[in-house]
Amino acid sequence: MLIRFSGSASKTWERVTSIFSDYLWKFVHRPSAIEMPRSKRRHHSRSRSRSSGAYREKRPKRHHDSEAESDTRQSNTSFDGSSRRRRERSKRSHHRRSPDSSRRRNRDRHREDKSSRRHHKDRDRKEREDRTPVKKQPSVRDDADGHLIYHTGDILHNRYKILATLGEGTFGRVVKVKDLEMEHTMALKVIKNVEKYREAAKLEINALEKIAEKDPTFQHLCVKMLDWFDYHGHMCIAFEMLGLSVFDFLRENNYEPYPMDHVRHMAYQLCYAVKFLHENKLTHTDLKPENILFVDSEFTTTFNGRKNREVRRVKCTDIRLIDFGSATFDHEHHSTIVSTRHYRAPEVILELGWSQPCDVWSIGCIMFELYLGITLFQTHDNREHLAMMERILGTIPYRMARKTRTKYFHHGKLDWDEKSSAGRYVRDHCKPLHRYVLAETPDHLQLFDIIRRMLEYDPANRITLGEALRHPFFAKLPPAQRLHEKCNENSVSASSSRERSHSLSR
């Protein structure tokens, strides 16, 4: 239905409508109810957070005269409400960080955490290292027996390079070394890191130095000491390089006995060398085939048809005497027991005291072994050893049996049961000395004569080495091998020259 108003009524209606619209606008568009689109709000807030300050706008003056003013008032009121709300949100969001800043902080925090973890790991490792004692690998080690642990190529004393192992004994080991200063090979005796062997090595060094003083040209066939030093508790002695020992050559030759001429020459050299020691008041005390070395152990091989095998024959029978670790001067303390079992003299077993004649007994046993290739007294018991002596050499003198403080004798007679297993072994494996002779020829008989005189029970009646060198057994030696005669000639010529010089000085 169309309603028409008059002019005055129309103005009145417009006035009422304007008032009602103004009131309704104020009610609907309160500042707290004004909102912006979410996208604009977020963007505006972000832009506000990046701004340097808040908005500073003057509140518009309120006018109610016309519709234009009303519209302006309405728009200003709306903007002012939204502006306040944005400022409040800007305050809340001012401390928020943009996604880029958050990623940067997370990255920095990760770096800090990683650095902190690394720092803590380093600190923990250092603490563990401080708590755990540092175990350095020792440069020099010994085995359970006191032997030096070494390898080929090791250098000792910054001079001697190890090339090979030559042998081993109770004292230690002997190695082949190269002298890096002199550029030649030699034998180095490395003593065990054990007190008693170390002291014995010092005595050996002392004996070798005294021998070198008395025999600077080493004409008396004792081994030449080149150097010595203490290597971390191991006494080391350097010697000239020699060949195999008499025993090792015998063993590698299936214990084939040496020829008679070899036995003669080697026995003569042994007597000559030990005689030199005795003249200087020194007793070796440990003579045995292992301590007699060939200067050069090269050999030739021949076939033995009777034994159906090849037999070695050493080319040169020149020897050197070694191992002075038990050598004792007359003025030094004499141990109760000396010598290796098989070559031990009866006065040592009976503890009657000993001196140089005990070496002569050992030489007699060695000559027997060179001749037959077997040990004369193969035993490890004192009582059995004495029983073997009586079986081979006859009854032990009553005077010695009564003088000993050992319990091997009863009323001057050896306390030995011949019917026991040990007694039967001695009876079956031992026989009188003369029955060991292989041939009834002068050479063999003379050999056993000198052996018998060396194996005299009473050391006072035992042959001396000076007498042994003049024995007929050595008469067949070529003049070039009779060293004692050369020595006598040299001494005579030296004394005569001194006499001539003395007469000229007068």
Binding residues for ATP: 189
User: Which residues are known to be catalytic?
Assistant: 286
Q: What is the token pair recorded at 231? A: 């290597």
Overall residue count recorded for the chain in this entry = 506
* Token pair recorded at residue 294: 């060939």
How many other CB atoms sit within 10 Å of the CB of residue 169?
14
Q: How far apart are CA 373 and CA 443, in angstroms?
A: 17
Binding residues: 189
Residue 303, H or E segment: strand 299-304
Helix intervals (H) in 29-66: 38-50
What is residue 197's three-state secondary structure?
A: helix
Q: 463: helix, coil or strand?
A: coil
Q: Cα–Cα–Cα angle for 126, 128, 131, nearest 5°?
A: 110
Q: Residue 275: name the closest of 67, 488, 91 by CA.
A: 488
Specify the long-range contacts of residues 136-144, CB closer than 8 Å, at least 24 apart.
140/231, 140/232, 142/192, 142/193, 142/233, 142/234
Phi–psi pair at 141, nearest 5 degrees: -130, 155
Which amino acid is it at 32?
A: S
Closest to 349 (Cα-Cα) out of 309, 390, 321, 315: 390
Helix (H) or strand (E) holding 465: helix 465-469
Q: Which of left, alpha, beta for 403 (phi over 0: left; psi -120 to 50: alpha)? A: alpha
